[in-house]
Amino acid sequence: MKILLVGGNGTIGKKVAAHLNEKHEVVIAGRKNADVHVDIKDKESILRMFEQVPLIDAVVCTAGEAKWDNFNDLTEEDFYIGIRSKMMGQVNLVRIGKDFINSGGSFTLTTGILGEDPVARTTSAALVNGALHSFVKAVSLEIDNDIRVNAVAPGLVEDAYEKYKNFFPGFNAVPMKKVINGYVRSVEGRIHGQVIRVYE
């Protein structure tokens, strides 16, 4: 398969890219140090990316950001960081990319445990993750050309445990192998409209 991996240089993305590259052709997209450049906050940038990478069988997105802060300190604009980037960025990958991806292809988005099990300072991220869970379920009812759409929802991944452990008291670190397998299940399997939870 020819796989377009958006965010392939991030904590999760680089491990997923390395694994998928063992069997498939992986094209890395990102804001820097990538095969093709894209800013998922900009729908025109997304369109240009797809125009540069033809004949894609699968799109995987591990990119997207959201503001972490106390709810009482979050401004409206702070919420829009996650809405424009992680939420609409991934929605637009599907909305625009459906016209470029091969029939029978797939989109794999990334959400996270915060959509169902939030912790303090994550209201904005939790909102975005929950919205994407609903999007995946709904869009699967309507998208054409046998295209599949799923999301992988990792917990606190082991590679980021030291950085974020104070935000997640009592949470177990999720082995990266389990997280990678979530993406493999979406890309190489036949599931559709599913949120693949990898929380433990």
What share of the chain has pLDDT > 90, as a percent? 100
Cα 119 to Cα 139: distance, rounded to the nearest angstrom: 28
pTM of the model: 0.97
Buried b (16+ CB within 10 A) or exposed e, 53-85: beebbbbbbbbbebbbeeeeebeeebbbbbbbb
With a cut of 90, say whether residue 155 has pLDDT above it.
Answer: yes
Domain architecture of the chain: domains with CATH:
2-198 (3.40.50.720)
Provide φ and ψ at 190, rounded to 5°. -125, 10
pLDDT digits (tens, 9 = 90+) for 79-135: 999 999 999 999 999 999 999 999 999 999 999 999 999 999 999 999 999 999 999
